[in-house]
Amino acid sequence: MSDLEVVPLPVGQLRTNCYLVVDTKSRECMIVDPGDESEFISQKVLEFELTPVAIIATHGHFDHILAAHELSLLYSLPLFIHSDDLFLLKRMRETSRHFLNYEPQQQAPENTEALDNMQSILVGNFRFSILHTPGHTPGSVCLYETKEQLLISGDTLFAEGGVGRTDFSYSSIQQLANSLEQLFSLPESVRVYPGHGVLTTIGQEKRLHQSN
């Protein structure tokens, strides 16, 4: 039985999948895509007796970072994010107001560290490779654990043939296609934990995309 556990916590109006990625032996965890409801997330960390060692955003859209500032202060940890998406942090309140029709009270994350030069991040005994997968946003990343064949895909890849939107001014259909090609080169058995919706596998999504 694996010592790696991924706990999905759907948060916010857009039901973003925040993930607690846990080494069950050390009880260390990383918090991925804290999209809202910082108190709910921190309660789960306390309930499961976890020690957060990293807070990571797969990209800079507001629905993946609204709780990041409060959690960063609570755990004295930076938000790890690709530098190509830092511009989105400055737009966080503006874009959330546009999509949610109200003014959010949360502040944008201030304590950040760039993922650009990091090849991997360690959670207990598990090492997650950082894959730069631009397209949906310039700084989108996925997190891949080779031993466990597990991928956290953010908004790059969803179940049932879904992919992230590319109709933003900074998005790129061609970059997204290249990123999907990179992901589809992974073993078909890899389990995919997306930013929204249900779990899937690389094999299932690869077949769906090839049939379209």
Residue that the structure tokens 């996925």 belong to: 142
Q: Along the 212 residues of the chain, how does pLDDT read in single tens digits?
A: 789 999 999 999 999 999 999 999 999 999 999 999 999 999 999 999 999 999 999 999 999 999 999 999 999 999 999 999 999 999 988 888 878 877 778 888 999 999 998 999 999 999 999 999 999 999 999 999 999 999 999 999 999 999 999 999 999 999 999 999 999 999 999 999 999 999 999 999 999 998 87
Burial class (CB in 10 A: 0-12, 13-18, 19+), 102: exposed
Cα–Cα distance for residue pair 94/85, rounded to 1 Å: 15
Domain ranges (residues) in the chain: 4-211
CATH architecture of 4-211: 4-Layer Sandwich (3.60)
Q: What angle do CA 12, 132, 188 make, to 5 degrees?
A: 85
Extended beta strands in 83-190, E state? 112-114, 120-123, 126-132, 141-145, 150-154
CA distance 211 to 157: 16
> What is the model's pTM?
0.96
